[in-house]
Amino acid sequence: MDLNNDPVDHIDEKDLGEHIHALVRRLYPICRSITGDGLRKTLRIINSYAALEIREVPSGSRAYDWQIPREWNVRDAYIRDSLGNRVVDFKKNNLHLMGYSVPVNKKAKREELLGHLHTMPEHPDWIPYRYSYYKDDWGFCLSDNALKALNEPEYDVYIDSTLENGHLSYGEAYFPGTSSDEILFSAHACHPSLCNDNLSGLAIAAYLARTIGSKKHRYSYRFLFLPTTIGPLAWLSRNEDKLSRIKHGLVLACLGDAGISTYQESRIGNADTDRAMVVALRDSGTPFNVRPFTPYGYDQRQYCSPGFNLPVGCIMRSPNGCYPEYHTSADNLDFVQPAPLADSFSKILATINVLENDYKYLNLRPKGEPQLGRRGLFDKAAELGLMWILNYSDGHHSLLDIAEISGHRFTFLKEGADALVETGLIKQIS
């Protein structure tokens, strides 16, 4: 498989960012949470890009130390003033309602109401994102400017939500390869109208799944679209028999903002997954950050818990908590752009390409240099790093090792290795 070419069938590569952004736009208005119909609707849309199994886990089921919560759905929610104006309205922006708010229908004194309102004084026009998944509560989020206008002594508070036994939904796509060894991609699908975190990750995962599904490949691929924390725990607890197959994994999040790429290594650190991602980023020729594992952040927290310790890293652009728009209404359709979405997609695909093509070769003429001239390879020797491949194809070093040692681009080395295999100077051994 050479995934660097023709990444997505029927889509011109230069239009890819626009296509991914279109999917972000389509998903943006939906009110998602860790359960509920918004999450289901999101999965059904993604299913139209890459065939998913949509799984439903009943409320109350165990997932290790956790229990699947009740399912939350909302029809309407608002704060209304004495003139009947909806001064805060869930229908205008689903961020206005704190996630998992319990039903409410009452008059509330201004003072009581203030205890349930969340704003960001440092960004007075932005609405913050808040939730209370595991503690019964209710609340509204609004701009600090809107808060300042709430001067009446009493307001109608109305939340038409349900918190009932139901299901946690997640989507799963599996593409078998020639090997049962797996590469896992995981994207959290529970955030409401927030684009970078994580419609960017969902949309890129959808297009990756569509690409992988249309190709032959060595590895088997698994894509998970699930609510954060409880989603991976539900999946892990039901799939322990498959975990030993996971050789590499990436959590996809915050992939559409203008920042440079940031890779957080797996807990293992320097796993082949980590090294492949770093080589792909290096080969891109653009700046990037690499940072070590921490047990904070996205769902790598579960995959990299000590009971699993899977080789799962996390690829982002600006990391969670490191940009002011994070978890606010400013993480909107302008904040993510086609160009960085396409760039993130291509770097992940380049990483897949490294992993798919990372073989060890054996130099069959290991004593001295072979004579490249009479094989017509002399002119390609420098660019394709042929001398590096020949010298380090000693049974110990893989192409990824050679990419690291030599500084040569992985794709050039692959081309070089193919040429050397063709002449019989090296052979693939694993």
Residue 210: phi and psi, rounded to 5, are -60, -40
DSSP structure class, residue 84: S
Binding mask 153-192 for a copy of itself (x = CB under 8 A): ----------------------------------------
Question: Which one-letter amino acid corresponds to residue 313?
Answer: G
Binding mask 245-284 for a copy of itself (x = CB under 8 A): ----------------------x-----------------
For residue 390, state whether it binds a copy of itself (rule: CB under 8 A). yes
Q: How far is CA 151 from CA 5, 78, 109, in A?
A: 60, 16, 11
For residue 66, state whether it binds a copy of itself (rule: CB under 8 A). yes
Residue 240 CB, nearest approach to a copy of itself (Å): 8
- Of 115, 306, 334, 430, the one binding a copy of itself by CB under 8 A: 306
Closer of 287 and 307 to a copy of itself (Cβ): 307
Task: Tell me the number of residues near a copy of itself by CB under 8 A.
Answer: 41
How far apart are the C-alpha atoms of 237 and 184, rounded to whole Å? 16
Contact 69, 34 (CB under 8 A): yes
Segment near a copy of itself (CB under 8 A); pick from 114-122, 137-145, 310-318, 367-375: 367-375
For residue 291, state whether it binds a copy of itself (rule: CB under 8 A). no
- Of 391, 401, 404, 421, the one binding a copy of itself by CB under 8 A: 391
- Of 23, 98, 233, 279, the one binding a copy of itself by CB under 8 A: 233
* Buried-exposed string 311-349: b where 16+ CB fall within 10 A, e elsewhere: bbbbbbbbbbeebebbbbbbbbeebbbbebbbbbbbbbb
End-to-end CA distance of the chain: 16
Residue 298 CB, nearest approach to a copy of itself (Å): 12
- Of 87, 236, 312, 377, the one binding a copy of itself by CB under 8 A: 236
For residue 285, state whether it binds a copy of itself (rule: CB under 8 A). no
- Of 129, 326, 392, 410, the one binding a copy of itself by CB under 8 A: 392
SS3 141: strand
How far apart are the C-alpha atoms of 387 and 91, rounded to whole Å? 64
Residue with tokens 């032959």: 216
DSSP structure class, residue 136: -
For residue 430, state whether it binds a copy of itself (rule: CB under 8 A). no
Segment near a copy of itself (CB under 8 A); pick from 75-83, 113-121, 277-285, 391-399: 391-399
Strand-pairing partners, residue 174, are: 222
SS3 134: coil
Contact 264, 319 (CB under 8 A): yes
Closer of 38 and 370 to a copy of itself (Cβ): 370
Closer of 14 and 374 to a copy of itself (Cβ): 374
Residue 277 CB, nearest approach to a copy of itself (Å): 21
Q: Write the burial class of residue 111 (CB in 10 Å: 0-12 exposed, 13-18 middle, 19+ buried).
A: exposed
* Cα three-residue angle 281-285-286, rounded to 5 degrees: 75
For 171-239, the DSSP string reads: EEEEE--SSS-EEEEEEE---SS-IIIIIIHHHHHHHHHHHHHTS--SSEEEEEEE-TTHHHHHHHHH-
- Of 145, 178, 270, 371, the one binding a copy of itself by CB under 8 A: 371
Residue 31: phi and psi, rounded to 5, are -85, 100
For residue 379, state whether it binds a copy of itself (rule: CB under 8 A). no
Bond prior to 4 in cis (omega within 30° of 0): no
How far apart are the C-alpha atoms of 334 and 28, rounded to whole Å? 12
For residue 125, state whether it binds a copy of itself (rule: CB under 8 A). no
For residue 295, state whether it binds a copy of itself (rule: CB under 8 A). yes
Residue 75 CB, nearest approach to a copy of itself (Å): 27
Contact 371, 414 (CB under 8 A): no
- Of 65, 111, 122, 241, the one binding a copy of itself by CB under 8 A: 65
For residue 98, state whether it binds a copy of itself (rule: CB under 8 A). no
The residues of the shown chain that bind a copy of itself, judged by CB under 8 A, are 63-66, 134-135, 229, 232-233, 236-237, 267, 294-296, 301-302, 304-309, 363, 365-371, 373-374, 387-388, 390-394, 406
